[in-house]
């Protein structure tokens, strides 16, 4: 008798659970209608909180296993449920905004429609095509649709909701960085990678914080600083504290790619906010001493570099450096050339649709003997390997569209859209910043860029009057 009761009870429980999910979803959509800007801007709080909980409750220990097990452990049931609820919240909040915008009384503007079509093409060419037609097909997974729904939700945001998203992202990131820094003396094995030997800070461990990886930690610290430059805090003291927290996290994360993208984006933001200074402003009495100091430092730097080139035996030193282990890591981009070779070889075997979405999965990692390879470590090469020429075409079109729109709305967003677009393009060289398999913490800059672009669609290209919050 029991052998029949258990399956029947399980089916009844599953049926009731499905109805509960449906009722909760409908109720949540109705409740969200009470908020004129929707609830999607709270996604940034939710995703950072669930990630912090997942890492804090995980068994991660840099002191025991180094970097090989540091990819987002979620062994704790509480953390797993927090991530599931975050995904559900993001889907419901996005669905609310999409249904609002696609109502009978709304018209989709030209640029917004173009962006949504290009994004849909990118998703189809990198998810649907390889899933159905590649040599290594696999059944559709529900999480593949998360990025599609969330991306469309960000694109269909109204200006006020997108502005709230920027402020929510800024606030959540600095709380995230502050908590991570506070754990350094309490749980160094959880947040500090003591065996890291590839950084530019000898003797200083790499700071991963409560992020899955130190690169993600540095990337989010830079994201918070960009948001702070565009939307400063109302309190000057709080503003300075956030700068201290963000720069500390960015510096200790020791990500060369993030450092480079931050340094490149910084003058772009300053130009978008203030423009090029005139000669009269530079030679004004209040700036004369600063201008003389900067000129002296520039001349001193040129003199030092010239002396090194003339008398420093640069050729011998460069040859010695390239022959060392550090030089080999630089020339191979820390082993990424091997991963690129694998992805390109799979593309060569199937040039049209690629290997398929299981590329660099657990089974493929075992075949190639690279347990550390979780992606192609280059956006275009990863698309070529997974989805072939079709996927690479979608990726290239989408990347160019984001760069164009980011630069177009650079001034009206106080440089934030330009900084995000440029940083994403730079990170595409050695990472995969636009992922369609998840909507986690490593995709925050990309989704915020969509929100920033949405905030300025249909608006005149002028600076907002209110930036403090």
Q: What is the pLDDT of residues 138-160, one digit of tens each?
A: 888 888 899 999 999 999 998 88
pTM of the shown model: 0.81
Q: Is residue 419 part of a domain?
A: no
d(CA 99, CA 92): 11
Q: Average model confidence (pLDDT) for the chain?
A: 80
| Domain of residue 45, residue span | 35-129+139-277+309-333+436-455
> Which residue in this structure is represented by tokens 């570099």?
305
Q: Residue 280: which pLDDT band, with cuts at 50, 70 and 90?
A: low
Q: How far apart are alpha carbons 404 and 149 in whole angstroms?
A: 23
Range list of β-strands (E), 36-88: none
Phi, psi angles (nearest 5°) of residue 75: -75, -25
pLDDT at 469: 60
Residue 98 lies in a domain: yes
Confidence band for 34, pLDDT divided at 50, 70 and 90: low
Domain count, the chain: 1
Q: Which of 445, 441, 397, 386 is nearest to 419 (CA)?
A: 445
Pairing of β 206-207 and β 192-193: antiparallel
Weakest mean pLDDT among 8-12, 201-205, 221-225, 445-449: 8-12
CA distance 209 to 448: 21
Residue 411 and residue 167: Cα distance in Å, rounded?
18
Q: Does some domain include residue 245?
A: yes
Tell me if 361 sits within 8 A of 382, measured CB to CB. no
Query: Which residue(s) pair with 206 in the sheet?
Result: 193
pLDDT of the residue at 21: 46
**The pLDDT of residue 20:** 44
Say which residue the tokens 């258990």 belong to. Answer: 6
Check whether 298 has a pLDDT greater than 50.
Answer: yes
Which has more pLDDT, 317 or 192? 192
pLDDT digit string (tens) for 321-380?
Answer: 445 544 444 444 556 788 888 899 999 999 999 999 988 888 888 888 887 778 888 999
Q: Is residue 426 situated within a structural domain?
A: no
Is residue 152 within 8 A of residue 159, CB to CB? The reply is no
User: Looking at the domain assignment, is residue 287 inside a domain?
Assistant: no
In a domain, 158, yes or no: yes
User: How far is residue 446's CA from residue 47's CA, in Å, rounded to a whole number?
Assistant: 14
Q: Residue 358: inside a domain, yes or no?
A: no
204 within a domain of the structure (yes/no): yes
How far is residue 29's CA from residue 97's CA, in Å, rounded to a whole number? Answer: 10
pLDDT value of position 321: 44
């Amino acid at each position: 008798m029991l052998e029949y009761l258990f399956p029947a009870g399980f089916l009844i429980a599953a049926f009731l659970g499905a109805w509960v999910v449906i009722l909760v979803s409908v109720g949540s959509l109705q409740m969200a209608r009470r908020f004129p800007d929707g609830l999607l801007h709270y996604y940034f709080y939710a995703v950072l909180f669930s990630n912090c909980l997942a890492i804090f409750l995980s068994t991660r220990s840099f002191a025991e296993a180094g970097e090989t097990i540091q990819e987002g452990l979620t062994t704790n049931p509480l953390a797993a449920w927090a991530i599931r609820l975050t995904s559900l919240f993001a889907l419901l909040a996005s669905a609310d905004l999409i249904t609002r915008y696609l109502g009978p009384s709304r018209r989709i503007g030209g640029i917004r429609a173009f962006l949504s079509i290009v994004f849909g093409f990118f998703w189809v060419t990198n998810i649907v095509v390889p899933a159905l037609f590649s040599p290594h097909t696999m059944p559709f997974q529900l999480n593949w649709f998360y990025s599609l729904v969330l991306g469309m939700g960000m694109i269909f945001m109204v200006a006020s909701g997108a502005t709230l998203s920027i402020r929510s992202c800024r606030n959540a990131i600095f709380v995230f960085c502050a908590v991570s820094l506070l754990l350094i003396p309490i749980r160094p094995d959880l947040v500090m990678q003591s065996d890291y030997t590839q950084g530019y800070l000898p003797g200083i461990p790499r700071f991963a914080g409560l992020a899955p990886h130190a690169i993600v930690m540095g990337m989010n610290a830079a994201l918070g600083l960009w948001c702070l430059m565009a939307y400063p805090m109302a309190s000057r003291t709080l503003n300075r504290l956030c700068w201290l927290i963000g720069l500390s996290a960015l510096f200790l994360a020791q990500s060369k790619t993030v450092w480079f993208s931050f340094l490149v984006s910084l003058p772009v933001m300053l130009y978008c906010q203030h423009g090029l200074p005139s000669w009269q402003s530079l030679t004004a009495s209040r700036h004369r001493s600063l201008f003389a100091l900067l000129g002296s430092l520039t001349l001193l730097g040129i003199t030092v570099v010239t002396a090194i080139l003339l008398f420093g035996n640069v050729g011998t030193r460069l040859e010695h450096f390239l022959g060392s282990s550090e030089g080999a890591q630089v020339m191979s981009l820390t082993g990424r050339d091997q991963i690129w070779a694998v992805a390109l070889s799979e593309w060569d075997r199937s040039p049209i649709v690629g290997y398929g979405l299981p590329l660099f999965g657990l089974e493929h990692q075992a075949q190639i003997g690279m347990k550390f390879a979780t992606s192609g470590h280059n956006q275009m090469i990863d698309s070529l390997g997974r989805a072939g020429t079709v996927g690479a075409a979608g990726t290239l079109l989408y990347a160019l569209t984001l760069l164009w729109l980011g630069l177009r709305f650079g001034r009206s967003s106080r440089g934030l859209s330009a900084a995000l677009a440029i940083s994403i393009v730079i990170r595409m060289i050695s990472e995969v910043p636009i992922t369609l398999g998840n909507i986690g913490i490593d995709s925050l800059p990309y989704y915020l860029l969509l929100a920033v672009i949405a905030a300025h669609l249909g608006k005149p290209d002028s600076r907002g009057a209110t930036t403090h919050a």
